[in-house]
Amino acid sequence: MSTILSISDFLKKSEHIPIIDVRSPAEFEAGHIVGAINLPIFSNEERAKVGTLYKQKGKNEAVILGLEIVGTKLAEFSRTALSVAKQNQLLVYCWRGGMRSASMAWLFEKVGIETFTLYGGYKTYRNHIIETFDKIKKLVVLGGYTGSGKTEILEEIKECGEQVLNLEQIAHHKGSTFGALGELENQPSSEHFANLLFHELQKFDLHKPIWVEDESKRIGTIHLPDNFFENLRTSFLIKLNVELNYRIERLINDYGNFKKTELINAIHRISKRLGDKNSNLAIEAINSGNLADAVVISLNYYDKTYGFGLSKRNAEFIKEIQLISKEKENFAKQIIQFYYKECL
């Protein structure tokens, strides 16, 4: 008989035992425990049929249909489990820790695999994630206008030994209308973004400062978890002030190698906010190779948007630091020193 574990014990064991998610492919795609392997008892269509029958004729009829569907798959399930198991052990979960995970655990035990299931299933995992976000004691938010180099500076702060969360890296998007350019992977769902965020937080001491870039509620198509976003908006923010020319140069370096059509499509996506005149001027500048003018036009919009968001914060929790571009090799150290001197 399989052993039922709490979420803490389940996650601890997952450090060295593979995880099997037996939910449908659609459920798995929407979000799953990071690192889990999908071995669905039912396909999306099969799950729908069983669910419909349960509502129409009750549990017994649904269970019988489920057995008919699964019967021909048992051997393949067993072969896959044996190939995936490490030290003859597996972790298994479904949505609520009910029949699907219990049935698959029973099968795995029959072929000699020691199996552990998650009490409360994926639903418990999701609740645990939300609770963990509430336990973060100190976010240090790095802010500043578009092109200030926040992401790069955060990576340097990380190299200095600080705890850093790269939200844009997790989201596979850089935040602006140009943010998807150069990304090799599609964005995760908002649900799975939260799972990935939690996975990163497991590496951190939640009582020590965690550095993060200032973001809006949305990064591309994903929405930040409500309680995490609330923490981000009410935490100390260090606003970077750098020269405009430095910002323009950085943005040209970051996006200047993309195709003109990609840049123009990005302008079209914010044309209502830029206005027809500015949109046309930006597109003309891109077509003529004058990227600096296109950047300046775009920054007029982004700077106003960021300034408005900044005005919604408590001014007492905003500290500004002036950075000189010729000293950019020392930006990270300057900012760390500034935080521990001015913000604690």
Cα-Cα end-to-end distance for the chain: 53
Biggest CA-to-CA distance, the chain: 74
Among the residues of the chain, which ranges form H helices? 7-13, 25-30, 44-57, 59-71, 74-84, 99-110, 121-134, 150-159, 167-171, 190-201, 226-234, 244-255, 260-269, 271-274, 276-287, 291-311, 331-342
Q: Has 94 been annotated as catalytic?
A: yes
Cα separation of 118 and 7, whole Å?
A: 6
Which one of 91, 94, 274, 282 is the catalytic residue?
94
d(CA 322, CA 205): 30
Which residue's entry shows tokens 């009410």? Answer: 234
Beta carbons within 10 angstroms of residue 278's beta carbon: 17
- Please tell me the number of Cα atoms within 13 Å of 326 on its side-chain side: 0
Strands 139-144 and 19-21: unpaired
Q: Which residues are catalytic?
A: 94
